[in-house]
Amino acid sequence: MAELIDGKKLALKIKGEVRVYAEKFEKTLGRKVGLAVVKVGDDPASAIYVRNKVKACDECNVQSFTYFLNGDSSQADVIALIKKLNNDNAVDGILVQLPLPKHVDERTVLAEIAPQKDADGFHVVNAGKLFLGESGGSVACTPRGIIELIKSTDQPIAGKHAVVVGRSNIVGKPIAALLLQNDATVTVCHSKTKNLSDFTKNADILVAAVGKKNFITADMVKPGAIVIDVGMNRDESGLHGDVDFDNVKDVAGYITPVPGGVGPMTVAMLLLNTVCGATSNE
């Protein structure tokens, strides 16, 4: 039976540390660290994520500024708002919740965020710094949280075979870069990968970021592996990961639950990015 990696507990600890920094910032500068949260349209999952992020701001003594635009807002409307926030001295971090409506181009919008205010680490400059191994850029929150979850097991990453299933800009690509930076041997699998289980069965560290409920089954997992489940699949019976937890837990060495694994860490890392960004920009 695998050991459970408790993301909720680790996130609480990190948010406690972030709050200390945020209180020091307020005492020194006479204003709170500010995070602007932009949501366009009414995607129900985005509404939940945004609510959790705003709640975490309150817990960490960070001022949140919410901007909820209608789903029929134009790309120009979204960009105009970002430009305003880039120039607002009360705003240290900007977050545009994804996905955006179809008529708004994600890449164009994210490129408008000032890189030093990019709380999500999605700007091309910050993504580039991550891939080149340059310090000082903000790193995408979910991948950053995943590394902390793996480190919390006290198992070394260096020299391990890490297999990432999924190649999104938000999770798959940046977690592959971070694992590589931590000296893992990294394989990235995706929807066109043939014989997927040949790769996953050889993974010491398996990161599942597929978006399909119970996609990773017990026969695909190496005994003793560290299994990180990034899946957030909602249906009528609740929230489910990408990993068939009930069966994989008997094979893996360590495993994250859903909920209570990666999700809370994403939020904690967002706050950490925001407060670190605010401190280094002052």
Q: Would you name the residues annotated as active-site residues? A: 53, 97, 120
Q: Is residue 188 a contact residue for ligand GUN (CB under 6 A)?
A: no
Cβ contact 171:191 at 8 Å: no
In angstroms, give the least distance from the CB of 149 to ligand GUN. 15
First to last CA, the chain: 48
Cβ contact 85:36 at 8 Å: yes
Q: In the bound complex, which residue of the shown chain has the CB atom lying closest to ligand GUN?
A: 98
As a whole number of angstroms, the distance between CA 46 and CA 51 comes to: 8
As a whole number of angstroms, the distance between CA 266 and CA 282 comes to: 25
Total residues belonging to the chain: 282
Of 23 and 43, nearer to ligand GUN (C-beta) is: 43
Q: What residues have CB less than 8 Å from 194, skipping those under 6 apart?
A: none
Of 54 and 218, nearer to ligand GUN (C-beta) is: 54
DSSP state, 172? H
Helices 7-29, 141-151: crossing angle, 10 deg rounding: 120
Cβ contact 231:211 at 8 Å: yes
Please work out the total of residues on this chain that contact ligand GUN, with binding judged by CB under 6 A: 9
Q: Hey, which residues between 65 and 104 contact ligand GUN (CB under 6 A)?
A: 95-98
Of 28 and 108, nearer to ligand GUN (C-beta) is: 108
Q: Please identify which residue in 18, 22, 141, 175 interacts with ligand GUN, judged by CB under 6 A.
A: 141
Cβ contact 70:82 at 8 Å: no
Q: Please identify which residue in 73, 142, 273, 274 interacts with ligand GUN, judged by CB under 6 A.
A: 142
In angstroms, give the least distance from the CB of 174 to ligand GUN. 10
User: From residue 253 to residue 282, what is the string marking binding to ligand GUN with x (rule CB under 6 A)?
Assistant: -------------x----------------
Q: Which residues of the shown chain bind ligand GUN in the complex (CB under 6 A)?
A: 95-98, 120, 141-142, 170, 266
